[in-house]
Structure 1
Amino acid sequence: MAEAEQRNRPPGPRGHWLMGNTPAYDDDRIGFLRRTHGEYGDVFAFDERTVFVTDPGTAHDVLARTNTDFLTELAPFDARPDLGDAAAEAGAWMSARRTVWPGLNHTAAAAADARTVELLDELARPATAAEVDVLPLARAFTAYAVAEYCFGRDAAGLPELLADNLDITEPFTASSYQFPAWLPLPRHRRFFRVHRHTVRTLTGLVRRRRADIRPATPRDLLDFMLDADPAMPDGTVMATLRGILMGGHGIPAAAIVSIVRELALRPELVADLRAEAGDALPAARLPLAEAVVKEVLRLYPPVWLMTRTARTPTTLADWPLNPGDEVLLNPYLIHRDPRWWERPDEFDPGRWLTGRPAPRMAYLPFGAGPRVCVGSALAMRQLTLTTSRLAQAYTVESPNAASAAPRFHGRLAPAGLRARLAPTGRCPVTGAH
């Protein structure tokens, strides 16, 4: 990086004369970030438009200024985004968040407990007979769970649509090289085709439901949103539900794969979880299961990088940023930093059971600030129940749990984890022997 640039940008590696740091980053993403963090510190430049942050205070500052100085991750292919339009969309989303929040809080999430456990048992059946790839199973479970939570009786076909949406993003997360949207590449055509189909499908469901006779009490999140006063436009309802569906599918699915891995490696922990669950689920409180989830999200945050885009000329830890500059926050390294955590690389759910608060600024599994994950309560409840039920009803057997390393593409999860869920004898849902 030239001396003149260094005065206006954080320090960072020079990289290849033509390709910059992208080849080294794509070859070993977390290794590159660890090395660069060690050499250049908590804030370092990747290129002339991209800065990485591994300091919790700076990360919180960026997250707190989202919607004012920063915008959330922009749409794919938006190489020259209209930041004004993006800011207007952010304002509409914040209004929708305030409306939908009561439909996703702890009380509302707990109402789905019984169905969550039932769905897990139904979709786990193939894994009771033979060893399976855990990620597709976890994705199927979270797709059905979030689709039913949002659309209830109208959820048919949505899990498959969610799977298509995940599939179309995989080619883009595997490489940092991006091609213009106008290039007629097969992956581009499929991306836009699936996107259009998703918008049409969800818009049709919203419009048909609005035309129905309204029930006395909401039966799902769509009912809750259609009962809002003042009424939300159909497009806003659709866009809000689309965001919740996407976030409530791939992210918790990745976390479940990490949970399965830990259960396969720790039979003593499984025994303790089984004792906590007793003979029936759902249960009012599951502190150990919740602690396991929190520890998994600390060590293996599915959203291991968060992107924010500078909306206006602003600063980052005293460094100037221009509109359109990207800031990448790294919860994975923050969660494993010995400055904030004791024994940071050790899996220890007990750290969440001591009564001592965790270092709040250094724990970011759901983000922070005005754009903190709107579905965090629902996700925590779903993951806690899943952890408890897996321990209660199954023995997790995995031939490669010890060797399944995290994959730092897209959502963080152990790559290629395989497992069998051997039933313990408890009947689905009721917990009876």
Structure 2
Amino acid sequence: MPRGDEGRRPPGPRGHWLMGNTPEYDADRIGFLRRCHREYGDVFSYDERTVFVIDPKLAHDVLADPSRSFVTELAPFDTGRNLGRAVSQGNSWMSARRSVWPGLNHTAAALADGRTVEILDTVIDAAAGREVDVLTTMRTFTATAIADYCFGPDATGIPGLLADNIEATRPFAGTSYQFPAWLPLRRHRRLFRVHRQTVETLTGIVRCRRASGTRASPGDLLDFLLAADPEMPDPAVMATLRGILMGGHGVPAAALASIVRELAARPRLAAELAAEADGSTNGTAPPAARLPLAEAVVKEVLRLHPPVWLMTRTAHKAVDLGGWPLRAGDDVLLNPYLIHRDPRWWPRPDEFEPGRWAAGQPAPGAAYLPFGAGPRVCLGSALTMRQLTLATSRLAQRHTIDSPNVATAVPEFLGRLAPVGLRARFRPSSGRSAAAAPPSA
């Protein structure tokens, strides 16, 4: 940024006279952010409208937003930066959150434990000992699991639609440059087509289910939403389900890819997890609440490799951030990855130590943000933690995981953080029943 603005804006790198910091950032995103953090501190400017925050207290303040000064990330291609519309959409989403929360809390999520394990077994057994791409396999599992949770018997076709969304958004993850929506680029046309198909498909399911009448007891999340009081209109139901499907698919899949990498690299840990599972319910898959080691492994993976490694908020009015004045329209990017690895908050921050979560030990202050914080904390966090804990335990209980590139498949800082190109073979463990019963809630 220009030196003359340092008194008004946080300090930051000058960048190229025309392209700014984008080329250097896109070449090595986390390396660029580490260098800026070392040189400029916990708050630094990326350009005239963008500020990065690596301070946990400030990050928590932005996420909790007691002054309601920030909105969540603006819609793609919103080059006009319509902040009024973003505020209105944010208020509608908060209202929808209050309606849907009881259908996603710990009690409701526990009811899906059995189906989670059943779906995981089906997906992994289909690989039949073959070497597979781990992230693709985990996406198949999480897409099937979240579709089943949301739609039950009407979930057919939804996992494929979620895969189409992943592919349609992939070209946008590799660059920070954004072209106008009106340009007839192939990636634009594909994204709009998949978005339209997703909205039409979900809207059709919602309308058909509503027309069929309310069931005596909810069988899935859609039933729950249709029975909400006050009644949610179909567009609100569709939009809520779409958000849950997208978050409940990509985030846990990325986390599971990192978990599989740790299990493949640490056979002793995998054996301890298997022993925990076997000791809990005599060889069957136990409920998530009985798996403290598996839960600790999940928490530690989410610390070291948070799938949501960047979070964006936009100021919709002038606000102070740690003594720095922000203007309406300024973007604040929060970085859980660097916060989670900061030695000021975490001892031995770059080491994988599930023991730091022993006996339910909490995170230090506000320095743990895998699901965000405050009133907009990830709506599906309880469901995701249960799914990840059960999947971690079940994989270790039933399989020996071999990976030929476990040492070289490094995380990719594009979209959701996950190891790139990780491949593995899930071999049935000797003496472990492939037909072990799923858990009861």
Q: Structure 1 length normalisation: TM-score? A: 0.98
Question: Could you tell me which residue of structure 2 aligns to residue 398 of structure 1?
Answer: 403
Deviation at 1:258, TM superposition (A): 0.1
CA distance in 2, matches of 1:201, 1:358: 41
Q: Match of 2:215?
A: 215
Answering whether residue 431 of structure 2 is matched by residue 408 of structure 1, we say no
SS, match of residue 132 in structure 1: strand
* Identity within the alignment, %: 69
Could you say which residue in structure 2 is the equivalent of 1:334? 339
Q: Which moved more, 1:21-30 or 1:127-136?
A: 127-136
Q: Secondary structure at the match of 2:290?
A: coil
Aligned mates of 2:76, 2:90 — CA distance in 1: 16
Please give the per-residue CA displacement for 1:269-294, whole angstroms capped at 9, x wherever unaligned: 11110111010113241100000000
SS in 2 for 1:361: coil
What's the secondary structure of 2:36's corresponding residue? helix
Letter in 2 for 1:411: R
Report the residue type matching 2:334 in the other structure. Answer: L
CA distance in 1 between counterparts of 2:290 and 2:136 reads 29
Question: How much has 1:80 moved relative to structure 2?
Answer: 1.4
Are the structure 2 counterparts of residues 355 and 254 from structure 1 closer, same or farther at C-alpha, using a change threshold of 3 Å?
closer
Report deviation, 1:313. Answer: 1.2
Question: CA, structure 1 residues 60+157, in 2 after alignment: closer, same or farther (shift >3 Å)?
Answer: same
CA contact (8 A) 2:129 2:428 kept: no
> Is residue 53–residue 333 contact of structure 2 (8 Å, CA) maintained in 1?
yes
3-state SS in 2 of match to 1:362: coil
The residue type paired with residue 152 of structure 2 is G
Residue pairs, 1:49-60, within 5 angstroms: 49-60=49-60
Q: Distance in 1 between matches of 2:360 and 2:250?
A: 31
Structure 1 counterpart of 2:404, which letter?
P
* Residue in 1 that maps onto 2:83: 83
Distance 1:304 1:293 in 2: 16
Counterpart Cα distance in 2 of 1:286 and 1:332? 26
Contact 1:135 1:257 in 2 (8 A): yes
Amino acid at match of 1:191: L
Separation (CA, whole Å) in 2 of partners of 1:350 and 1:240: 37
- Residue aligning to 1:430: 437
1:352 corresponds to: 357
How far apart are 1:431 and its partner, in Å? 7.3
Aligned-residue CA RMSD in angstroms? Answer: 1.3
Structure 1 match to 2:9:
9
> How far does residue 66 in structure 1 lie from its aligned partner after superposition?
7.3
Counterpart check, 1:418 vs 2:426: no
Q: Distance in 2 between matches of 1:66 and 1:183?
A: 39
User: What does 1:197-236 correspond to in 2, within 5 Å?
Assistant: 197-236=197-236
Decide which of 281, 306, 321 is 2:326's aligned counterpart: 321
Q: For 1:257-276, what aligned pairs fall within 5 Å after superposition?
A: 257-276=257-276
Secondary structure of 1:419's match?
strand
Could you list the runs of 4 or more consecutive aligned residues of structure 1 that deviate by over 6 angstroms after TM superposition?
none
3-state DSSP of counterpart to 1:360: coil
Instruction: Could you tell me which runs of 5 or more consecutive residues in structure 1 were left unpaired when the two chains were aligned.
Output: none
Q: Is the 8 A contact 1:43 1:51 kept in 2?
A: yes
Cα shift at 1:67:
8.2
Question: For the residues of structure 2 that align with 1:228 and 1:71, how far apart are their CA atoms?
Answer: 26
Superposition pairs of residues 3-402 of structure 1, within 5 angstroms:
3-65=3-65, 68-278=68-278, 279-283=283-287, 284-402=289-407
CA distance in 2, matches of 1:250, 1:429: 28
Residue 282 of structure 1 aligns to which amino acid in structure 2?
P
The structure-2 alpha-carbon separation of the partners of 1:346 and 1:308, relative to structure 1 and needing over 3 Å to count, comes to: same
Unaligned runs of 5+ in 2: none
Post-superposition shift, 1:2? 2.0
Instruction: Give the whole-Å Cα distance in 1 for the aligned partners of 2:365 and 2:139.
Output: 29
Between the aligned partners of 1:357 and 1:383, the Cα distance in structure 2 is 18
Deviates more, 1:119-128 or 1:179-188: 119-128
Which letter maps to 1:218? P
Deviates more, 1:311-320 or 1:289-298: 311-320
Q: In structure 1, how many angstroms separate the alpha carbons of the residues matched to 2:291 and 2:67? A: 36
Deviations 1:129-165 (A, max 9, x none): 2111101100010000000100000000000001111
Question: Partner letter of residue 418 of structure 1?
Answer: R
Deviates more, 1:353-362 or 1:239-248: 353-362
Q: 1:356 to 1:384 in 2, by over 3 A?
A: closer
Q: Deviations over 1:84-126 (max 9, x none)?
A: 1111111111011011111001111111111111111111124
Which amino acid is the alignment partner of residue 303 of structure 2?
Answer: R
Q: Contact 1:118–1:428 (CA<8 Å) still a contact in 2?
A: no
Shift of 1:354: 4.5
Partners of 1:3 and 1:15 in 2: how far apart? 12
1:355 CA drift (Å): 4.8
Conservation of the 8 A alpha-carbon contact between 1:66 and 1:72: no
* Distance of aligned partners of 1:411 and 1:150 in 2 relative to their CA distance in 1, 3 Å threshold: same
- Distance in 2 (CA, whole Å) between partners of 1:263 and 1:428 is 22
Bigger shift: residues 145-154 or 349-358 = 349-358
1:114 & 1:120 partners in 2: Cα distance? 10
Q: Are the structure 2 counterparts of residues 87 and 66 from structure 1 closer, same or farther at C-alpha, using a change threshold of 3 Å?
A: farther
- Matched residue of 2:325: which SS? strand
1:42–1:54: 8 Å Cα contact kept in structure 2? yes
1:67–1:87 contact (8 Å) kept in structure 2: no
- SS of aligned partner of 2:369: coil
Partners of 2:49 and 2:311 lie apart in 1 by 16
